[in-house]
Each structure stands twice: as C-alpha cells, then as structure tokens.
Amino acid sequence: MHFNHRPFQKNDTIAAVATPPGEGAIAVIRVSGKEAIDVAEKVFTGKVRDFKTHTAHYGHIVSALGETIDGVLLLVMRAPRSYTGEDTVEIQCHGGSIVTRRVLERILEAGARAAQPGEFSLQAFLNGKLDLAQAEAVQQLIAARNELALQAAEQQLQGALSKAIGGFQQGLTETVAILEAWVDFPEEGLEFATMDELIGQLEETLGQMRHLQATFQEGKTIHQGLSLCLAGSPNVGKSSLMNALLGKERAIVTEIAGTTRDLLEDDLRLSGLHFRLIDTAGIRDTEEIVEKEGIRRSKSAMQSADLILFLLDASRPLSESDRTLLESVPREKTILVWNKIDLQKPSETIEWTGSSASISAKERIGLDELKGAIDQLIWRKGPPSKEEIVITQQRHFQALGNAIDSCQTAIDGLKQGISPEFVSSDLRNCLNELGMIIGTNISEDILTSIFSKFCLGK
C-alpha cells in the first residue's frame, strides 16, 4: 500500500496536543515518527537521544534562543514499543491554551508537522500495531456514551471482531484453495473434499456471518442511543414523568391542560444506554394556532421516535379522544403507561396486548417497573453479554452484507454445477469484503475518511 500524498505522509514526524482544549492541570503533547527523538532533543533541556525507552524525564522546553517556555515531564517510547510503532515522545506541560500552544509551536518549528485527526492511530495501523477494526474501536472507546458502547468498543479493541473475521477468512481460503486445485487439475476431481462437504462448510460460514451481521440491530442501539417520546392527551402527566425520569424539574407542570406547547428534549441514561427523552404537547382537538402547531410536532415526534411511552390518566375515565389516540400509536414500539395510580382508580378496560406499566409520576411510584418494561422492549432476548460480539458500525455491516451475498452466490453456483473458477471468484470477492473490515486491501480514500473522524492527537 502506498501512502505518498497528502494528507497522510507515512514518513513524516507528526505532533499534536492529545488532551482536550481549555484549562487543565496538565496537557499532553504527542510527537511520533522517525525524527521524534531529534525534534525533542532540539526543544528539551536534556539529552533525549541518550534516554532509554519508557523513561520519564523532568526538564524544560526552550525556544530557539534558549528561553524557557515551560517546565515539563518528557516520556520517551522508542519504536516499535509505542502506540504508533514509531519513536514517540510525550510531553506533559502545564495545561492552558497559551502554554500548550507555545510548546506545540516550538515542536513544529523544530521539524515536526501538525498531525491530522486520527493520524497517530493511522500510523499504528500502517505499522501493524492495530488492524483497522481495532483502530476504529479506539475512537469508539473515546466516544462511548454509555456502558454497553464501552463494552463493545473494548471487546473490538481486544480483537474479538478481528478474530471472528479471521476465522471466516481461514475457512473460505481453504475452500478457495481446493476449488482452484480443481480448476488446475480437473481430471483429479475434488481430491480433498466432496462437493457436499464443501457446500456444508460454506453454509456454516455463511450462517455465522449472517448471525454476526444481525447483531448490528443491537449494535446501532448501543452506539447511537434511542429516542424515547412521551405522548398522550393533555394533562395525563407527560411532563411530570419527564421530570421524574430525569430527576430534575426540566419541564413546566401545571394542572392546566395544554401546558406543554413545544417539544422538550433532554439526555437520559438508563440501563447502560443513552436516550433522547422527548416531552410533547398533549394531543387534542383545538383551533388555537400555537397549540395546533405543538400538536403537529407531537405527532411527528411519535412517528420518528424509537420508543413511545403512551400515557393515560388512571384516575379518570378514558375519553373518546384517549381511545382514538391509542388506536393510532404504533404498538410494537409503544409502552402503555397508566399514570396517577396514587389517586383512586376508576375501573377501566381497554384492549392492549403490548407492554404496559402503572405508575405515579408525581409520587415516583412504579418507575422501576417502567424501566423494566423499557428494557424488555429494547432487548427482547436480554442485553448482549460481555462475550457476545456485536457490530456497531455501518461500514462493517455493509462489508459483511456484501460478503454474505458473494458467499451465497458461490454456494448457489456449486449447487448448480457452475464451473469452479466462477465459484472461486465469488469467494475471492467475499474474502475481499471481509478484508475491508480489518483493513487488508483497503483504499487510501476509505482510510482517509475513516481516520479523519478521529480526535486530534489520537
């Protein structure tokens, strides 16, 4: 693979601030590449060239004229024992944007180039320290917004996904080898396996690939979070429930029907996931212009939400409008919530086979039951275990899908007695697609687009 033009130049020595901007006790500036030690030697008061690998040294960063810029701790990690696989120097200077910027500028002046986002991880990938799926996991780990996303990223970083893909590749490569031997020496027939065995092996791999691909549904939930919409007639307690779930007085609550006019949103963390919680205007017939627009928004929020909590007031008989509304909700993504169970309950019967919960938003009763119902609706089979491999990225999902299609075509071809060279070409396509996931035979454009989404300094 060649990496000879901008933005990524493999042989450059790159530098960036690796800590977030703003005030902080310390900031870390990372320098990596063939010249990292020489650059550090120029800007630091100690003999960096003589420093042993994995040692820390106190000293000063000085300007070209010898003026002190900052007192720092300097760490040396020599190739290949570093994150990037290149000589790496990390400088811990005082935090704060001006000090940090001056130290970085001095390093750039001494010969390093400002790194692009993700370029340290790209170096690590090009040096074989991480495969592509692992490098992507690093960014996912940083960006994880909930425990399950963190768990999935850690697992991918450890190489669990890469190992599964490697397993598919190994089996498919063996099959290709047998098929190609058959193309070369047709008179000898399929010497190493019967046709049924070959088809059987391919079908097994196909099944495993399909299983892995299907985890993307969960993966998306974990990675992107879900929207959770509170809906129902006016005054049923939607805003009260929003406040109860958030544990703060986010929304205005009054006894006047039609209090909430606009959509209100906030972040909610629940059972290892993150949600976008949306409170809506109570839906009813009205000619009032502002409320009408609010209701239009409520309906559209219900349509686009991943989950709906549909509230009914358990303390009063259901109105016609409650019933009509209930008819219109998409049941598969709705939990029916009876609110105000602290008040006397009229006996109501409605037809509802989906999930439901009974609560009092005001008195904070039944919230655990409600959370349980939400959990159940999301994870019909329970949340993924620590061992289960879940794919969380669209890119992986797509490549797996293409691999599955090619594998299926190969199987169909074998069954129909199509010439083995066509079958082996389908399997090679399948192998290529799998390779894209871990980064073998991947184009520079794709690499650039993947790594450019990373944080600067990572």
Ligand X SMILES: Nc1nc2c(ncn2[C@@H]2O[C@H](COP(=O)(O)OP(=O)(O)OP(=O)(O)O)[C@@H](O)[C@H]2O)c(=O)[nH]1
Contact at 8 Å (CB) between 308 and 302? yes
Which of ligand X, Mg ion, none interacts with 85 (beta carbon under 5 to 8 A by kind)? Answer: none
Which of Mg ion, ligand X, none interacts with 236 (beta carbon under 5 to 8 A by kind)? Answer: ligand X
Can you give the binding site for ligand X, defined by CB under 6 A? Answer: 234-240, 253-255, 257-260, 281-282, 339-340, 342-343, 360-363
Please give the backbone phi and psi of residue 73, each rounded to the nearest 5 degrees, phi first.
-110, 130
CA atoms within 13 A on the CB side of 332: 4
Q: Is 259 in the site for Mg ion (CB under 5 A)?
A: yes
Least distance in angstroms from the C-beta of 360 to ligand X = 4
Task: Out of 82, 140, 213, 260, point to the residue binding Mg ion (CB under 5 A).
Answer: 260
Least distance in angstroms from the C-beta of 315 to Mg ion = 17
C-alpha 131 chain-centroid distance: 17
Which of Mg ion, ligand X, none interacts with 277 (beta carbon under 5 to 8 A by kind)? Answer: none
> Which segment (21-29, 147-155, 238-246, 319-327) binds Mg ion by CB under 5 A?
238-246
Q: Is 298 in the site for Mg ion (CB under 5 A)?
A: no
* Three-state SS letters, 57-101: EEEEEECCCCCEEEEEEEEEECCCCCCCCCCEEEEEEECCHHHHH
CA atoms within 13 A on the CB side of 152: 29
Which of ligand X, Mg ion, none interacts with 147 (beta carbon under 5 to 8 A by kind)? Answer: none
Contact at 8 Å (CB) between 50 and 33? no
Burial class (CB in 10 A: 0-12, 13-18, 19+), 78: middle
Least distance in angstroms from the C-beta of 296 to Mg ion = 16
> Which segment (64-72, 188-196, 208-216, 255-263) binds Mg ion by CB under 5 A?
255-263
**3-class SS at 26?**
strand
Contact at 8 Å (CB) between 146 and 272? yes
Cα 265 to Cα 227: distance, rounded to the nearest angstrom: 10
By beta-carbon proximity to Mg ion, the closer residue of 88 and 260 is 260
By beta-carbon proximity to ligand X, the closer residue of 196 and 255 is 255
By beta-carbon proximity to Mg ion, the closer residue of 179 and 311 is 311
Least distance in angstroms from the C-beta of 288 to ligand X = 12
By beta-carbon proximity to ligand X, the closer residue of 251 and 438 is 251
Which residues contact Mg ion (rule: CB under 5 A)?
238-239, 259-260
